[in-house]
Amino acid sequence: MNRRGLLALSCLVLVTALVFGVLGVRSYLRVAVGYAAKVAGSAVFVAGRELDDVRREELRELDWVDVERRGHALVARAFGVSRRARWQPGLGVVLLPLADDDRDPPLDERGPSDRAQATGGRTPLPDGLTVDGDDVAPVDAAGSVEAGGPEDVGGPAEADGPVDAAPVRAVVDAVFAREAVAWERGDRRFRTRALLVLHEGRLVVERYAPGFGPDSVLPGWSMTKSVTNALVGILVRDGLLDLDRPAPVAVWSGAGRGPPAITPRHLLQMSSGLAFDETYTDPDADAVRMLFLEADTAGYAASRPVVAPPAAVFSYSSGTTNILSRLVGEAVGGGPRAVAQWMREQLFDPLEMSAARIEVDAAGTFVGSSFGHATARGWARFGQFYLDDGVSHGRRILPPGWVAFSVEPAPAATRGEYGAHFWLNRGGSGAGPPLASVPEDAFMARGFAGQLLAVIPSRRAVVLRLAADGLDAEVDRDGLLRDVLAALPD
């Protein structure tokens, strides 16, 4: 190649690199701005929080994104990219598709929310739990709630009496103290908002960060997957879904398009064989694209190519959960509002999770992988519900054997780390349990930004941490659970 040819080739390479660089930056901006719109929108319209507080808390690492409330929408903008998240009463906040070009609604920094609407504008009561016989526990200036009395969480009535809360409270207080010192020093990776400990069906200790309390509605992120497990279990109980029949997914029924027979069991056990990249640091990864760029989460997930036979490979995938969510919606029927009512009647009301909800995507599918919200007490009730084998207040909600199935290692999870939409602490293939200091019968719902709901049957304990940790933070689950369990009676 002559000199002119080399120069032309070099220019082509440079232009190509610039084009792909610009496209990459724009893709990142669309995701980041979409994330800001969705997270802030849910906090404002679902939880009823102030936008300024959300900017300081949830968006502290995205302070270069401008967010403002306009009517029933939250608009986020940065460097020429704009995304909108719109509130639909009772269904949460929907991140609008990229192609949506609606004009911004009028600017309005105040207005209704799901939380305010549910309580007629009054201060909402906490989810069901009572502390020392009162509906609302007193919260001190540091966010600590006095507990330790006979606490009704749907657990066994024959518990032996109150636990000495002082050792547990010392562990919990130490968590908040460490984070407060770190924040003062500029290390803002960890942000615990609620920490609750239940033992023998009783609330031993709960503590909240300043500005939060028993009535605060907080996201569970991927803890929502375990709620989806319960919804599927209810359908199985009622004969509306068969775990071992091929999943009735429309996109798979076309001639020559269908993958091998993927069943709801495969989807629950994260072994569908569908490709899905769960990376969150790449704006083009499947999980990020599905949640913050695609209008139809289930449709996107179902369109992924087949890379392995069903049940052959364990691959954690938010996409498979949203396929299950679509199946739940179709089995119940009647559209999103009918499905939301069914969730409330069949699960949330029996567990007294009055503030709980799962938000929908732009296609009307409930995003069962990620967009669930409840109070801390509501999330703790959910953990107690699984500790009690799917029974609440003496009423069986999940079919017999469902919890045992849910916490049995999936055949493809050869290290024993995953069941059916629950993380496990089993060892497998010669490996020890992931959390070395925690009993092997522990199982967990875990979520982005530090969410943790741990159930430890051998200790009759439930530990809940709700948080807004930084994007690069990894909470020490083993250390937290070890210290809490050591403070509880054997």
Residue 87 above 60 pLDDT? yes
CA 62, 65, 69 angle in degrees (round to 5)? Answer: 115
Alpha helices in 195-343 (DSSP H): 224-237, 264-268, 286-292, 297-302, 318-332, 336-343
DSSP assignment, residue 450?
Answer: G
pLDDT band with cut points at 50, 70 and 90 for residue 108: very low
Burial of 90 (0-12, 13-18, 19+ CB in 10 A): middle
Residue 231 above 60 pLDDT? yes
Segment 427-469, tens digit of pLDDT: 776 678 899 999 999 999 999 999 999 999 999 999 999 999 9
Q: Which value, to the nearest 10 degrees, does the dihedral of the CA atoms of residues 383, 419, 425, 275 take?
A: -120
For the segment 277-289, the average pLDDT, to the nearest whole number, is: 92
| The two structure tokens encoding residue 343 | 């969730």
What mean pLDDT is reported for the chain?
A: 85
Residue 118: its pLDDT value, please?
46
Alpha helices in 87-164 (DSSP H): 114-118
Segment 140-154, tens digit of pLDDT: 333 444 343 334 554
Segment 357-390, tens digit of pLDDT: 999 999 999 999 999 999 999 999 999 999 999 9
d(CA 4, CA 469): 54
Q: Residue 462 is inside which H or E element, if any?
A: strand 461-467
Is residue 262 within 8 A of residue 301, CB to CB? The reply is no
DSSP assignment, residue 58?
Answer: T
Segment 233-248, tens digit of pLDDT: 999 999 999 999 999 9
Segment 58-82, tens digit of pLDDT: 999 999 999 999 999 999 999 999 9
d(CA 446, CA 474): 12
Domains in the chain (CATH in brackets) are 3-118 (no CATH), 217-487 (3.40.710.10)
Residue 110: its pLDDT value, please?
44
Residue 212 above 50 pLDDT? yes
